[in-house]
Amino acid sequence: MQSLDAAFLALADPTRRAILARLALGEATVMELAEPFDMTQPAVSRHLKVLEGAGLITRRVDGTKRPCRLAPQAIVEIDRWLDWLRQAMARNYDRLDDVLAEMQTEEGREKP
């Protein structure tokens, strides 16, 4: 489950999500990715390292350039976890004790 830590943490930063959004349009180099941000190149390099470490992007070597692209791996893992949670939630909504608890909140517990 440790990779979920990395993946969710990577996605928790708006800059990194913006980078992913840019990569959704296609491959881009570090400089291309850095350009729209009010941020230095080393900062972007670090964000890319985080994204790569989380399995959200991959990088190839092209001369001095390191073009980045989206990688499906981490997303798949996140999806699996969310699917599981979503299903557990759905099952839960059918359980009687929850319904009863709800009723208790709405009715009996309104300060008498």
Residues that bind DNA (CB under 7 A): 9, 12-13, 15, 29-32, 38-43, 45-50, 59, 63-67
Choose between 47 and 55: whose C-beta lies nearer to DNA.
47
- Residue 23 neighbours by CB distance under 10 Å: 21
CA atoms within 13 A on the CB side of 72: 2
- 72 in Cβ contact with 40 (< 8 Å): no
- Smallest gap from Cβ 58 to a copy of itself, in A, equals 10
What are the Cα distances from residue 37, in Å, to 2, 46, 54, 66, 74?
A: 29, 14, 21, 18, 24
Binding site for a copy of itself (CB under 8 A): 1-2, 4-5, 8-9, 11-14, 17, 20-21, 23-27, 60-62, 67, 69-70, 72, 75, 78-79, 81-82, 85-86, 88-89, 91-92, 95, 97-98, 101, 104-105, 109
